[in-house]
Amino acid sequence: MITVRDLLRFSPSFRYGAIILMVVVVLIILSYFSPFEPDDRRAVPRNEPPSFEYLLGTTSTGQDVFWMLTFAIRNTMIIAGVAVIIGRTIGVLLGMISGYVGGTLDRVLSSIVDSVIVIPRLPLVILIASILRGQITIITLAVLIGILDWAYPSKRYRAQIFSLREREFTQTAVFAGMNTFKIVVQEHLPFLIPFLLADMVSGFLFAIGFEVTLSILGLSDLNAQSIGTMIYWGNYYQALLSKQIWVLAAPIAASVLIVVGFYLMSIGLGTYLDPRTRLKRLEVRG
Amino acid sequence: MSLLREFILPRLLQWALVIFVGITITFLIPRLSPVNPISQALGRLTAFQNVAPEAMVELRETLEDLYGLNGSIFDQYVAFWKRVLRGDLGPSFSAFPRSVNEMIGAGLGWTIGLLGTAVISSWLLGLLLGSLAGYFSNRWWSQVLDKLLIFIYPVPYYIVAFVLLMAFTFYLPIFPLVGGAKGTPGLNWEYISSVLHHSFLPAFSIMVGALAFRFIMAKTLATSELASDYVQYAEMGGLPRRKIITNYVMRNTMLPQITDLGLSLGAIFEGALITEVVFAYPGVGSVLYNSIISADYNVIMGITLLSIVGIATASLLVDLSYPLFDPRVRLR
C-alpha cells in the first residue's frame, strides 16, 4: 500500500496511468447496469451514427456500441486477469523453488525455463486454438494465455530471490532462529511485491495483445463480447466499407487507452524499482 | 580446447534442448486436446469440398503418423521425430497434393524480404535515435520523440497496422490495398518498383512498433551509460561529441541490442502473421492464416516447427558471437 501511495505521489506517469485505468474500471462497473443483454440483437435502430441517445452509435445488427463496449472491456479484462493470475502463480512458484532449493533442481528448472522463453508463443497458441476451435470459451482462452506467460517472470523472481538470500538480514534472521517459512513471508515477500506489481502490469499488456490478436484471427470465443471480437465482427460486417467507422473506432480507441494506461503505470513502477533513480530522488529531496 | 568445452558445448546443448522441448510440446498438444483432430479435420474438409478417396487415405495415414495414433505413445513419438528429422512434414490438407514444404517455401522469400528489411532498418534507426535522444535528453526533439514513441509502443500491433491501412489505402489511397507485386516477376524496374510500392506500408507498420521498442531500449541504456565516469572524463578531455556517442556510449550498449537483433531475425520464420493478414501480403504469415481458416494442421505444425528451429538457431548464433562484440565475455 505504501508503495502505491508513494508511486501516486512521486511518479506522474503512474498517476496518469492510474487515472486512465479508473475510467476503465468505471466502464466495467457500468456494464452491470447495461439496459441490454450482451448479445441482444435488434435492440436499437440499426446503423445509427453517434448521438446523445446512442453515445457511440449502433451496429448493423442493431446493438448499441457503447454498451457493447462496456461488456467487451469487462470480458477482455477478465481474460487478462485470469491469464495474469495463472501465469504469475506458476512463475512465482517455479522461481521460488529454483531460488530457495538451488542445486541440481535449480539447474534443471533453469535450463527448461530458458528453453521455454525462446520458444515462439504465437504459433503455439494458434496451433492450440485452432484445434480447440468452436469449443473455446473466455476462460479457456485465459488459461491458454496464462500457461504461456510464466517463463520470463519466473526467471526474474529466481534472480531476485538469489540476491535476497545472500543479503545480510537473511543471515541475521537465520542465526536469530527464525524459521524458513517466516523468513520467506515476513522478510522476503515485501521486497518481491513491487516486482510482482510491475510483472502483473506487463502480463496484462501481453494478455490483452494476445486476446485482440487471436480474436481478430477468429480463434477466440466469437459469441462473447471482447475488444478483439468487436473488431472481428466490425470487419465481418464491413463497417469500414459501409462508412460506419464508429463501430471499429470504439474498440480500437478502448484498446489503445487501456494498454497506454497500463504501460504508463509500468514506466512509473520501473523507475521506482531502479536503484539509480531512487538514489537520485533521495538526492533531490535531501 | 577449453573454449570448446566451456563455451561452445553448453550452448550447443542448450540449443538441442530448446528444439527438443519445442518439438515435444508440438507433439503433445494435439494429443492433450479433448477433440480428435483427425476426424474433426477430415469432417470439416469433406463438409466444404470433395476430396478424392485416395487423397483421404493418404491424409488419414499422414495424420495418424503426425498425431501419433499408431502403436504406443512412445512408438508414435519416435515416428514423429523420424518425420521431423527427415524434414518431411507431409502433404497439406487444403491444397492436396502440394507438400507442406512447398507451401512454406512459396511464402518464405516474401517474408524474409519484408521482415529482413523492416527489422534491420528499424534496428539501426532506433539505436541511433535512441542513443542520441539519451545523450541530448534536454533537447525538444528528444522530448517529443520520447513522448510519441512511449505512446505508440504499447499499442497492439494489429491496431497500428489497421489504422495505417485505413489511412493510406482507404481515406488517402496512396498505396495499393492487397498483394505483393503486380506484373510478371523479373529483374526490371517496373516489377521491382511495384514490389517496393506494395511492401512499403506493411514494412512501415512493422517498423513503427520495432522502432519504438528499440528507441526506448537504446535511450534507457544510453542514459545509464552516461552516468559512467568515462563519459564525463571524455567530455572534460574535449573529445568530439560524435565520437563519444558512436565510439563509446553506443559501443558499450551494443551487447543487449545485438542479442535482440539476432532474436528478431530468428523470429522471421514464424512470419509476420498479422501484417500479412492485414495487408494480404503473400508470405509465410498468409500461408499460416489460410491454414488456420481451412484447419490445415500439417501446415500450422510445419510453421510452428520451423519457427522453433529458427529462433533456437538464432539464439545459438547470438550466443556464439558474443566474444566477437564484447571482449569482457572473451576474457571470462
What is the full per-residue pLDDT of chain B (332 aa) written as tens digits? Answer: 566 677 788 888 888 888 888 888 887 776 666 656 566 666 666 666 666 777 777 777 776 665 556 667 777 788 778 888 887 777 776 666 678 888 888 888 888 888 888 999 999 999 999 888 888 888 888 888 888 888 888 887 888 888 888 888 877 777 776 666 666 666 677 777 888 888 888 888 888 888 988 888 888 888 878 877 888 888 888 888 888 888 888 888 887 788 788 878 877 776 677 888 888 888 888 888 888 777 677 788 888 888 888 888 888 888 788 777 766 655 54
Q: Tell me, rounded to whole angstroms, the distance of Cα B234 from its chain centroid.
A: 39
User: Chain B residue with minimal CA distance to A252?
Assistant: B159
Query: In this structure, how many other beta carbons lie within 10 angstroms of the beta carbon of residue A143?
Result: 16
Chain B contacts of A131, Cβ < 8 Å?
29-30, 33, 35, 37, 297
Instruction: State the CATH class of domain A4-47+61-285.
Output: mainly alpha
Q: Are A95 and A154 in contact (CB under 8 A)?
A: yes
Cis omega (within 30 of 0) for bond into B173: no
If you average pLDDT over residues A198-223, what whole number do you get? Answer: 85
CA distance A174 to B92: 62
Question: C-alpha dihedral over A203, A208, A214, A217, to 10 degrees?
Answer: -150
Q: What is the pLDDT of residue A286?
A: 37
Angle among Cα B116, B122, B124 to the nearest 5 degrees reads: 100
- pTM of the shown model: 0.79
Chain B contacts of A219, Cβ < 8 Å?
292
Separation in Å, CA A151 to CA A201, B262, B315: 16, 20, 16
Q: Best mutation site among B304, B305, B306, B315 for testing chain A: the one with the most A CBs within 10 Å? A: B304
User: Chain A residue with minimal CA distance to B166?
Assistant: A240
pLDDT tens, position by position, A111-155: 888 778 777 788 788 878 877 777 788 888 899 889 888 888 888
For chain A, the domains span: 4-47+61-285
Query: In this structure, how many other beta carbons lie within 10 angstroms of the beta carbon of residue B239?
Result: 14
| Cβ pair B29:A124 closer than 8 A | yes
- A64 pairs with which residues across the strands? A58
Separation in Å, CA A191 to CA A122, A164, A183, A197: 33, 8, 12, 11
What CATH fold (topology level) applies to the domain B108-294? MetI-like fold (1.10.3720)
ipTM score assigned to the predicted complex: 0.71
